[in-house]
A = this chain, B = another copy of it.
Amino acid sequence: MTSHLTELLGSRWPLLQAPMAGVQGSAMAVAVSNAGGLGALPAAMLSPAQLREELTRIKAQTTQPYNVNYFCHTPPTPDAARAAAWRGALQPFYDEAGIDSATVAPGVGRSPFTAEAADLLQAFRPSVVSFHFGLPAPELLAQVRGWGGKVLSSATTVEEALWLEAQGVDAVIAQGLEAGGHRGMFLTDDISSQMGTMALLPQVVRAVRVPVIAAGGIVDVASIRAALAMGAAGVQVGTAYLCADEASTSAIHRQALQGPAARHTALTRLFTGKPARGIMNRLMRELGPMSELAPAFPLATTMIGPLRAWAEGQGRGDFTPLWSGQNTSGCKALPAAEITRLLAQAWEA
């Protein structure tokens, strides 16, 4: 299975660097791909111009395969009542920060995969395109396949894995509950359906025929070997790359990842509207991490922006999404290539 996956991905190791929108770009992707892993460029928070620039940088710096990652959500209809409720929930913080909330406009935070995005990608023909929150429309997928692109997506339940396989994905990423960042869940919004990697991975491996990539709690050689023992064809690692030299992770975020605060992460809807795992901070504690007050994804984001900027200006991550998995012991301030080499020892005899 492992060798099948490396053939599919084209990388030396079946080791995927998890795309992490907002904290890394082309530099990380290039470093990991050149070191024998599959580097990833998260596209969700890039404008078309930025994406073209980043892809151009990758093309200039590596001949190795890489992965471009997109979110697959249906942008919601703005809902004035929910936006007002959210503004109301944040008002005490605006008051404390001296921000006039009337100047804070709701807006869109993350873009899904569109025809425009597919056309832009086509010029670069990335060998792997991965999706979160399901898959885009069949004609967009067909376009990716048209240039020979392999398609991956995340499953958080056995049902989602079966659905993805039925749509013809080349491999499934089984995303256990330990994982940092957004839960890829798309057939349900019931958090109780979410499983730890130890339970999800073997059940997905048993349910589908395509290779399964384990994600969630994979931070070092031992946990990679554990995932392989349970039938994973490869692994996807996010948190362990968050403090890499090439990551654009902020100093505040790095400090949280490397300190005692990282012992307590939680799923929260507050930063985007969809559940994502991050280190517990003031906003999460005071509003409740899964508060229903946050509007639909991705509308929650922009109204937090000014609070985040205000607190970060004072050296505090109180309103910052401190994305992190449940085990930060693998976070090392090293070049991403070195992290990749350390992790790849899992495949040495």
Contacts and interface: CB of A to CB of B under 8 A. Distances in A.
Contacts of A74: none
A6 B157 CA distance: 36
Interface in A191-234: 192-193, 195-200, 202-203, 206, 216-220, 222-223, 225-227, 229-231
Interface string A173-200: 0001110000000000000110111111
A329 B222 contact: no
A325 interface: yes
A294 interface: no
Given A192-B289, A226-B227, A327 B264 contact: no
A158 interface: yes
A196 B326 contact: yes
A192 B266 contact: yes
A178 B199 contact: yes
Chain A's interface size range is 35 or more
B225 A198 contact: no
A267 interface: yes
B217 A264 contact: no
A159 interface: yes
A164 interface: no
A178 B196 contact: yes
A280 interface: yes
Question: How many copies of this chain?
Answer: 2
A199 B229 contact: no
Contacts of A158: 263
Contact of A203 (B159, B193, B266, B327): B327
Contact of A177 (B157, B196, B203, B222): B196
Contacts of A206: 329
B203 A226 contact: no
Contacts of A266: 192
A326 B264 contact: no
Contact of A229 (B197, B200, B222, B327): B222
A4 to B, nearest CB: 18
Nearest to A193: B264
A263 B159 contact: yes
A195 B289 CA distance: 16
Contacts of A325: 199
A217 B199 contact: yes
Interface of A: 157-159, 176-178, 192-193, 195-200, 202-203, 206, 216-220, 222-223, 225-227, 229-231, 263-267, 280, 289, 325-327, 329
15 contacts: A178-B199, A192-B266, A193-B264, A195-B326, A199-B325, A199-B327, A200-B326, A202-B219, A202-B220, A202-B223, A202-B329, A222-B229, A222-B230, A222-B231, A225-B226
